[in-house]
Chain A
Amino acid sequence: SQQGEEDPQALSIQEGENATMNCSYKTSINNLQWYRQNSGRGLVHLILIRSNEREKHSGRLRVTLDTSKKSSSLLITASRAADTASYFCATTSGTYKYIFGTGTRLKVLA
């Protein structure tokens, strides 16, 4: 079963623009993580936010978490062509079982 649903399913932007993608989930969580997947580097961890945190930054990435709405957002600022990839949210709950979402396909046009 997929707990996370990313929105939008696909996103196309120009280089230098910001990209925002959202993740909604169904049950209470321990933490939420974002991963990136492209053909060159496979699946790579981007950032982890714990259930008691509301916002986290890492370089050009900003993640927010709203546990009351069971949602998270990932903002990529000043996007580059190299950011072209699929982005997945993954939640852990209970026994730290991981559930990945359906993914957002981001295309950054040069």
Chain B
Amino acid sequence: EAGVAQSPRYKIIEKRQSVAFWCNPISGHATLYWYQQILGQGPKLLIQFQNNGVVDDSQLPKDRFSAERLKGVDSTLKIQPAKLEDSAVYLCASSLGLANEQFFGPGTRLTVL
């Protein structure tokens, strides 16, 4: 079974630039999550989709972050414009449904200069 795919694996940008991350979940998984993990901290949930609907985005900084999950399969997370404090690893995860175990992708390490 293929795991959760994410791209790119690494990205370096300057502040005020925009960046987009892509995630392809495990086939058949209805729930998709985006997390931000700052070095030394636990993952922080940014947004959670159930199929193509948003279940929770209460911690998504909506003035600069956006996410979509078209057709209920893969998803993109965008930051525009980026700030220095956005430097982190962005993790995508998927699960069969709400409250099932999550399977995580390898993450995208973002550095904002």
A residues in contact (CB < 8 Å) with B: 1-2, 4, 30-31, 33, 35, 42-45, 48, 88, 92, 95-103
Known: A43-B104, A96-B55, A98-B48. A30 touches B99 (CB 8 A): yes
Q: Give the segment of B37-45, B65-73, B77-85 that binds chain A.
A: B37-45
Min Cβ gap A55→B in Å is: 18
Interface centre among B35, B42, B48, B98 (most CB of A within 10 A): B42
Q: How many A-B residue pairs have CB under 8 A?
A: 55
Q: Which residue of A lies closest to B58 (CB)?
A: A97
A45 touches B42 (CB 8 A): no
Q: Is B25 an interface residue (CB 8 A)?
A: no
Q: Which of A33, A88, A95, A96 contacts B42 (CB 8 A)?
A: A88
Q: A2-B42, A4-B42, A103-B42 are in contact. Are A96 and B105 (CB under 8 A)?
A: no
Known A98-B45, A101-B42, A102-B41: A45·B58 in contact at CB below 8 Å: no
Interface size for B (C-beta < 8 A) is 23
Query: Judging by beta carbons under 8 Å apart, are A33 and B91 in contact?
Result: no
Do A45 and B101 have beta carbons less than 8 Å apart? yes
Once the chains are docked, how many angstroms separate the CA of A19 from the CA of B102? 24
In the bound complex, CA of A101 to CA of B40 (Å) = 11
CB-CB < 8 A to A95: which residues of B?
55-56, 98
Whether the pair B106, A33 counts as a contact (CB closer than 8 A) is no
Chain B residues in 8 Å Cβ range of A103: 41-42
Does chain A have a CB within 8 A of B22? Answer: no
Closest to B107 in A: A42
Residues of A contacting B59 in the complex (Cβ-Cβ under 8 angstroms): 1
Please provide the 8 A-B residue pairs with the shortest distance between their CB atoms, ordered closest to farther: A100-B42, A96-B98, A43-B104, A45-B101, A97-B56, A96-B99, A100-B43, A92-B99
